[in-house]
Amino acid sequence: MKIFKSIKWRLQIWYGLILVAVLVGFGVTAFQLERNRQFRRIDDELHRRFGFLVSALRHPPMRRLPADNEDFGPPPRRDENVGRPPEHLAAGQFHLPPEASAFFDASDPNGFYYVIADDGSEITRSTNAPLLDAHRFTVSPELKPNASPDLPANDSRPPDRDQFASRSDDGPKDLPLGQPDPASMRGTFREILTQTPGGEFILVGRNVAPELKELRFIALTLTGVGVGILLLGLSVGGLLVSRAIKPISEISTTAVKIAAGDLSQRINVAEAESELGELAAVLNSTFARLETAFAQQKQFAADAAHELRTPVSVMLTQTQTALNRERDAAGYKQTVEACQRAAQRMRKLIESLLALARFDAGQEVLMRQRFDFSKMIAECAELVQPLAEERGVKLIAELAPFQITGDAERLAQVVTNLLTNAIQYNKPAGEVRVKIESQNQLAVLTIADTGQGIAPEDLPRVFGRFFRADISRTGAGNAGLGLAISKAIVEAHGGNLEVASEQKVGTTFTVRLPI
């Protein structure tokens, strides 16, 4: 679906899922804590009342300790109280002590109740106790009544003082009563059911319907509050997400306008310190470079067409003239030579354009190898020496052996072009000084002439394609691509080419290349 492909809706959905998970976790935790607190309180009350019932069941009246010379007769046989219910548990004869009766309100249907049973039959119960299944009160085989093996039935030894002292307010010490079972739920009743060592069952419970109703109300309240918070959170989250991705919409809108041809469009950087603000700044810089590049390409295409139009016009004119009337062999030869010169100019221009295109695309392969840079410069100077002599320019070279790594043929093209320009645009009887030195792990080549110089307003455009400052700097076949190609070659080697000039003093080109 399209909605799942939208960044806005993806963020909104993930935000909603996380918010739901947090709210559900918080609500369930809060509900469980409240439920545990309620049941813990009820369980404490159940255990407390269970203790009163146990005390009432297993605490016969305390016998007074006999004096040293007093005889109370034989002690009761131990099997009289073990393995069978006490006599006061006979049906209808059990009554809670007054201090325990206050904890069981028989008139309250939601109050605490108790049931005491013995091996499948109830002995006594509170009037508010619910009906129970008889099978719940079945004595375990290991707790069936058995005679105590400690004393024979006819034992008539005198009582031991410790026997009487073993009884306390907590019940007889020689009859362990065990711990009550954990509380459990039976419908709306919370109960504790325990079988004593004597075989009796004691059940204490309470109707927790009011607490369950309160817990349901709490659950509904937590659910309502959670839904409200979820809706509010989704609304606020939607606003935040929309605001967060608004720059993306602006970027998209601007990109569409630029794609339509309006390269002057820029993204409004409202949040410059955010990640999207940084992205917008980078894109604006990219768009500016694109606009400049398109403008240069447009100018480049126009200049290339202009430069190619001249030799083509020459060729067409010469051929048309030759076809219009008969000529002798010398005339045809002159026409062919003119066409040849125009074709050579076109070829040179096309080769320069192709070289620049390869450098722009990063497809120009440089043959990097170690070579003597000074020797290569001396060879270039020797190559242009005839041109210098023709124009009366003196070449002065300060060269020492210097090794660098690079494409010797391409760098020779750069040096030759710079020397040719320095000679061609120098004044008569001028000088061209060539010097090479090392600076900060760089080979620095300077070529300075004593020509008329370049105007300050033209310096930033010197390395532009098809740039010519004035007609005086335009030689035959000069298309204004030499410096542009030289700069591209130097930069492909990881170096840079700079120019400094002062009118009527001279121009200095500086080449810096890594050693």
Strand partners, 406: 369
Dump the DSSP string for 163-225.
HHHTEETTEETTS---PPPPPEEETTEEEEEEE-TTSEEEEEEEE-HHHHHHHHHHHHHHHHH
Q: Considering the domain 275-359, what is its CATH architecture?
A: Orthogonal Bundle (1.10)
pLDDT of residue 18: 92
Radius of gyration for the chain, computed over Cα atoms and rounded to the nearest angstrom: 56
The pLDDT of residue 30 is 93
- The interaxial angle of helices 408-424 and 482-492, nearest 10 deg, is 150
Q: What is the residue extent of each domain of the chain? A: 31-214, 275-359, 365-514
Rounded to the nearest 10 degrees, the angle between the axes of helix 209-244 and helix 7-58 is 160
Alpha carbons 503 and 459: distance in angstroms, whole number: 11
pLDDT at 99: 67
Q: Phi first, then psi: give them for residue 381, nearest 5 degrees.
A: -65, -40
Given this model, what pLDDT does residue 160 score? 40
Q: How much is the pLDDT for 354?
A: 80
Average pLDDT, the chain: 77
Per residue in 15-31, pLDDT (tens digit) is 889 999 999 999 999 99
DSSP per-residue letters across 24-74 = HHHHHHHHHHHHHHHHHHHHHHHHHHHHHHHHHHH-PPPPPPPPTT----S
CATH topology of domain 365-514: Heat Shock Protein 90 (3.30.565)
Please give the share of the chain, as a percent, with pLDDT higher than 70.
77
* pLDDT tens, residue by residue, 430-442: 999 999 998 888 9
Interatomic CA distance for residues 122 and 64, integer angstroms: 33
Query: Is the pLDDT higher at 403 or at 197?
Result: 403
Q: Which of 55-69, 266-280, 302-316, 318-332 reaches the highest mean pLDDT?
A: 318-332
Q: Return d(Cα 424, Cα 507) in angstroms, integer.
A: 12
Phi, psi of 34, rounded to the nearest 5 degrees = -65, -40
Which of 421, 412, 352, 408 shows the shortest CA–CA distance to 382? Answer: 412
**Residue with tokens 């030894």, as numbered in its chain:** 157
Confidence at 111, pLDDT banded by 50, 70, 90: confident
1 pLDDT tier (thresholds 50, 70, 90):
low
pTM of the model: 0.47
Q: How confident is the model at residue 509 (pLDDT cuts 50, 70, 90)?
A: very high
Distances (CA, A) of 426 to 431, 434, 453, 507: 8, 14, 9, 9
Backbone angles phi, psi at 82, to 5 degrees: -115, 130
356: Cα within 13 Å, side-chain hemisphere: 23
Strands 189-195 and 200-207: antiparallel
Pairing of strands 403-406, 394-398: unpaired
